[in-house]
Structure 1
Amino acid sequence: MLTVLPLTGIPELAQGDDLVGILLAAAETAGGIRAGDVLVVSSKALSKVAGLRAPAASRESVVAAATVRVVAERVTGSGHVTRIVESAAGPVMAAAGVDASNVGPADDVLALPLDADADAAALREELTARAGLSDGDLAVVVTDTAGRPWRVGQTDFALGASGLRVLEDHRGGQDADGRGLAVTARAIADELAAAADLVKGKVDRIPAALVRGADRWVVPAGQEAGCHDDGAGARSLVRGRGHDWFSHGTHEAVWAALGLPPGSAAATEVGLVPLGPDPLLPRTIRAVRAAMHGLEEDAADGVGLDLGDGTIEISGPDPFVLGRLVARLEVALWAEGLAAESQTVGATIALTLTDLRP
């Protein structure tokens, strides 16, 4: 049976605080930390103690510094830009995990620890020593919160882990009916993170919890990789790009296919911006720029473009170049939510645009 116990009474944390001592004191209300326990602690607790703060006014630069690549970006109705990125901390998440909630009284944002697995290992080692436990008695999971593809709402997941078999791999085994299992691998670290969040909560200022009854997955340091081949720690749960079927958003995948990955210098040069409630003309202009970007300079020299209200006329002496341009343009227009119907009149190709957005 699993028991999840909130660690209450933890004060607002500040840089340099003795987090281990604070957690041990809070755990006394649960009878102290015991052999087989999994301590689940919010990444914000580690970020506060490590001083990973910045003024809220510099949030965009903090997000940029913590971004490895842009996956998708959208403009909301209020004009705010939301970016889903591959973070330097590992996971793909909104704003690289940079957050302004539950950061304390200062008008700051907190960045994620860059190596939460190492932080979890250091925390586990010191907690084990100061609690008088042996190696293999305690696991530590560092959590953060994120949304999920295809699902509404957010849940906690394991950003870092130590002393825990983060994945229980059933591939090659059998189910209860004797059928072979080919893909089933339980993300134990994520499941424990989500379970602990049910008692930690986002509005109760409870940044840590103890999970009891999960000792079957608690292992000595260095044995965490016993169930899979991708190494130890929660970072091994991040799906690598070679196995990621959804490495870009729908809109951004089209730009990337045209040689303009989101956030790249080429995309900036063309003037691509996050998908948002723009009028038709700016979207048309961006699509034209993106389509022209793929043409060699000498091929584009003889091309004439005339943009009207929902129309584009393209002319030029070389029908092959025009064909290439129209094909690229139709793709770029689709990325901007525009469909194009073409008609050839002499040496001119006329496109009539239809707005696909609601």
Structure 2
Amino acid sequence: MSDLQLTAVRGMGEIRAGDDLPQIIAEALAPLAPQDGDVVVVTSKIVSKAEGRSRPAAEREQAIDEESVRVVASRPYEGGVTRIVEHRTGLVLAAAGIDASNTDEGTILLLPVDSDASARAIAETLRSRFGLAIGVIVSDTLGRAWRIGQTDVAIGAAGLRVLESLSGQLDASGRPLVVTAPAIADEIAGAADLVAGKADGVPVVLVRGMGRHVAELDEPGAARLVRRQADDMFRLGADEAYRDGFEAGRREAAAAAEAGI
């Protein structure tokens, strides 16, 4: 395996609604002489800006409602309520991924409508411009239920094998691997964030050394990394578990009262 190199892509300027983001990224990449097998990580924030996913900050709660399919957990704080929700794309995250940082004063940004499609559009432009097999990741910042802090993950991907199944292979000691499947796209997104940073204004990172994972554009995108409901051992969030427990208790009490117990 080759060494991993990560380079901040600079000089893109402020992205506005309607901008041709794939072409802007291509122009900024050109001085870095892209190579076959490179991966370009693009923060979802500039994708959302280019796609016009901005709304007035006063509509934040309404936007969370509209972008969510269920509330997983909630917790009040002095300024309101923190809501962990399932986004319409299947992602589970705080406030439906809606963010007010690094955007115009008085506005918020929603996640892209279809991050895999956004990644594909960028990948198509880069591959056409440079004549190279280039993978693209659209990244966003998520917390983890059992860990403190946040990290970037892939919410969109194109031209990249997002998951590497090692099932059936042997580990260094010769033991068979059964369920090991590194989330390659998430690992690349997390590494890229170390270069981009949250306050440095670097929305794109060029990653070199992961060429063995670059694939055709028909490869499944980051939606493949969302765990299916049938496989989710922790499907019920705190709010849902409490509500279900309350309803079960109410039914038991009603049944007992009816039976005269």
TM-score bin, normalised by smaller chain: over 0.9
Aligned to 1:74: 75
Distance 2:174 2:146 in 1: 31
The CA deviation at 1:101 is 0.9
Aligned to 1:280: none
Aligned to 2:231: 243
Aligned to 1:2: 4
Q: Equivalent residue of 1:186, what SS?
A: coil
Aligned to 1:41: 42
Match of residue 199, structure 1, among 166, 174, 195: 195
Aligned to 1:330: none
**Contact preservation (8 Å) 1:72, 1:248:** no
The CA deviation at 1:69 is 1.1
The CA deviation at 1:183 is 1.4
Aligned to 1:181: 177
Aligned to 2:111: 112
Aligned to 1:53: 54
**Contact preservation (8 Å) 1:88, 1:114:** no
Aligned to 1:124: 123
Q: Equivalent residue of 1:63, what SS?
A: helix
- Which has the greater radius of gyration? 1
In structure 1, the gaps of 5 or more residues are 225-231, 260-289, 301-315, 321-358
Distance 1:317 1:73 in 2: 34
1:61 aligned partner, one-letter code? Q
What aligned pairs does 1:1-358 form with structure 2 within 5 A after superposition?
1-29=3-31, 31-76=32-77, 78-103=78-103, 105-131=104-130, 133-134=131-132, 137-222=133-218, 224=219, 232-259=220-247, 292=250, 319-320=260-261
1:25 aligned partner, one-letter code? E
Deviations 1:31-56 (A, max 9, x none): 23221110000011110001001100
Distance 2:14 2:51 in 1: 14
**Contact preservation (8 Å) 1:143, 1:193:** yes
1:254 aligned partner, one-letter code? Y
**Contact preservation (8 Å) 1:36, 1:138:** yes
Deviations 1:277-306 (A, max 9, x none): xxxxxxxxxxxxx9557766xx79xxxxxx
Distance 1:152 1:48 in 2: 29
Length, aligned pairs only: 259
Deviations 1:213-267 (A, max 9, x none): 1100001222x2xxxxxxx1101101111111222334531312444xxxxxxxx
Distance 1:79 1:109 in 2: 17
Greater relative contact order: 1 or 2 (C-alpha under 8 angstroms, separation 6 or more)? 2
Distance 1:23 1:32 in 2: 13
The CA RMSD measured in Å over matched residues stands at 2.0
In structure 2, the gaps of 5 or more residues are none
Cα 1:319/1:13, change in 2 over 3 Å: same
Q: Equivalent residue of 1:167, what SS?
A: coil
The TM-score with structure 1 as length reference comes to 0.68
